[in-house]
Amino acid sequence: MMCTHRVRAAFNRMVFGLIITVLAGCLATHPVSESVVAKRAQMHMGTLVTLTVVAPNPSVSERAMRAGFNEIKRLEQLLSTWRPDTELSLVNAEAGLRAVKVSQETLELVIRSLDMAQLTRGGFNIALGPAVAAWSATERQHIPDELELQQLKPLVDWTSIQVNKVTQTIFLPRMGMRIDVGGIGKGYAADRAVVEMKRAGARAGVVAISGDIKTFGMPPEGHGFPVGIKHPRKEGELIAILELMDEAISTAGDYERFFVRDGVRYHHILSPQTLQPARACQSVTIIAREGVVADGLDTGIFVLGPEEGMALVESLPDVEAVIIDAEGTMTVSSGLRNRLGMP
């Protein structure tokens, strides 16, 4: 489908993020001052991926668009744990048996995930795979019983994951252990897609993998790419908007995948302590230079809670946050306060 609006109108309406307004398959191309702007959406990684490209001409735009989507497809092939043939699925299948050789890239993502676990004092935990599987479940609204969860506790110890940089192998020492990069992989994929879109000649753009968004460069008009942060309890409403310049944004929210039973909300972000849905926040939005940092931190800080989480954000350079606690109170990090606008 071709869309023919002028670019200014298009950007005025383009609030990305946590609200993605594109229709699947829609491509809009707008020639303005020697720039074309194109936007296209496809389903990958089990979610809607929207790419926006600012390029000098339509052929570069098309090349950058293809490069971005191809990179995301490649990473899905490498990192998914739902498909049996990916590197991480092989690592999981050999848990308790043997170390598995993986690509340098998979090794590095696992190392970065373990760094994130360290940083968030275990709030972010890629060894939670068995617990995620017990709830996976969420779709069928299955609530695992306490005994089942307690039996999984020895399997979710991220400190026992053995990564060998020399042999380039990963070993999960106990049978039944499972790595799950669902809390960090989309941010990493957004970073990588940006690299490939730039390499293909894009001047600027946005990669939005569901709520994981990475921007680069400037839109043809305006200073940055506008994004909105969703209200965690009022569907379709925003709590704030801001502009991003060469930054990533990611939100972990208890409203993204959830069900309510007997007045209790069950959602997809688990506390590594209880293996139950984490209860300290309604949503955590992180802004950082890298998508992998924004994505890992949003999940980890959701578990850590508003006080410890905001203290961590304030201690990190180039990281900002909007945290909404369990009661619905919003806290904004010091470097973001004069950047947020009301929707």
Tell me which residues touch Mg ion (CB under 5 A): 183, 295, 298-299
- Any idea of the CA torsion for 332, 333, 339, 341, to the nearest 10 degrees? 0
Q: Is 183 in the site for ligand AMP (CB under 6 A)?
A: yes
Q: Is 297 in the site for ligand AMP (CB under 6 A)?
A: no
Q: Is the Cβ of residue 188 or residue 216 nearer to Mg ion in the bound state? A: 188
By three-state DSSP, how is residue 269 classified? coil
Give the integer Cα–Cα distance in Å for 191 and 185.
Answer: 10
Q: Is the Cβ of residue 106 or residue 299 nearer to Mg ion in the bound state? A: 299
Give the integer Cα–Cα distance in Å for 309 and 277.
Answer: 17
Contact 292, 108 (CB under 8 A): no
Residue 229 binding result from Mg ion, ligand AMP, none, given CB thresholds of 5 to 8 Å by partner type: none
Stretch that binds ligand AMP, among 35-43, 96-104, 166-174, 294-302 (CB under 6 A): 294-302
Q: Kind and range of the H or E element at 61?
A: helix 58-79
Q: Which of 269, 297, 304, 321 binds ligand AMP (CB under 6 A)?
A: 269
> Which residue number is nearest to Mg ion in terms of Cβ?
299
- Give the phi and the psi of residue 191 in degrees, each rounded to 5: -60, -45
Indicate the residue type of 241: I
52: which residues sit within 8 A by CB, 6+ positions away?
14, 16, 37, 38, 39, 205, 206, 208, 225
Stretch that binds ligand AMP, among 85-93, 268-276, 306-314, 330-338 (CB under 6 A): 268-276
To the nearest whole angstrom, how small is the minimum distance from the Cβ of residue 252 to ligand AMP?
A: 3
Q: Is 180 in the site for ligand AMP (CB under 6 A)?
A: yes
To the nearest whole angstrom, how small is the minimum distance from the Cβ of residue 127 to ligand AMP?
A: 9
Q: Is the Cβ of residue 50 or residue 125 nearer to Mg ion in the bound state? A: 125
Give the integer Cα–Cα distance in Å for 56 and 187.
Answer: 27
Residue 91 binding result from ligand AMP, Mg ion, none, given CB thresholds of 5 to 8 Å by partner type: none
> Which residue number is nearest to ligand AMP in terms of Cβ?
182
Task: Give the binding-site size for ligand AMP (rule: CB under 6 A).
Answer: 17
Stretch that binds ligand AMP, among 67-75, 126-134, 198-206, 222-230 (CB under 6 A): 126-134
Q: Which of 71, 191, 290, 295 binds ligand AMP (CB under 6 A)?
A: 295
Contact 321, 310 (CB under 8 A): yes
- Summarize the chain as % helix, strand, coil (round to 5): 35, 30, 35
Contact 314, 306 (CB under 8 A): no
Give the integer Cα–Cα distance in Å for 317 and 334.
Answer: 12
To the nearest whole angstrom, how small is the minimum distance from the Cβ of residue 295 to Mg ion?
A: 4
98: which residues sit within 8 A by CB, 6+ positions away?
171
Q: Is the Cβ of residue 182 or residue 309 nearer to ligand AMP in the bound state? A: 182
Q: Is 303 in the site for ligand AMP (CB under 6 A)?
A: yes
Residue 270 binding result from ligand AMP, Mg ion, none, given CB thresholds of 5 to 8 Å by partner type: ligand AMP
- Sheet architecture: strand order including 169-171: 100-101, 169-171, 162-164
Stretch that binds ligand AMP, among 145-153, 161-169, 220-228, 291-299 (CB under 6 A): 291-299
Q: Is the Cβ of residue 30 or residue 178 nearer to ligand AMP in the bound state? A: 178
* Neighbouring C-alpha atoms within 13 Å toward the C-beta of 182: 21
To the nearest whole angstrom, how small is the minimum distance from the Cβ of residue 199 to ligand AMP?
A: 26
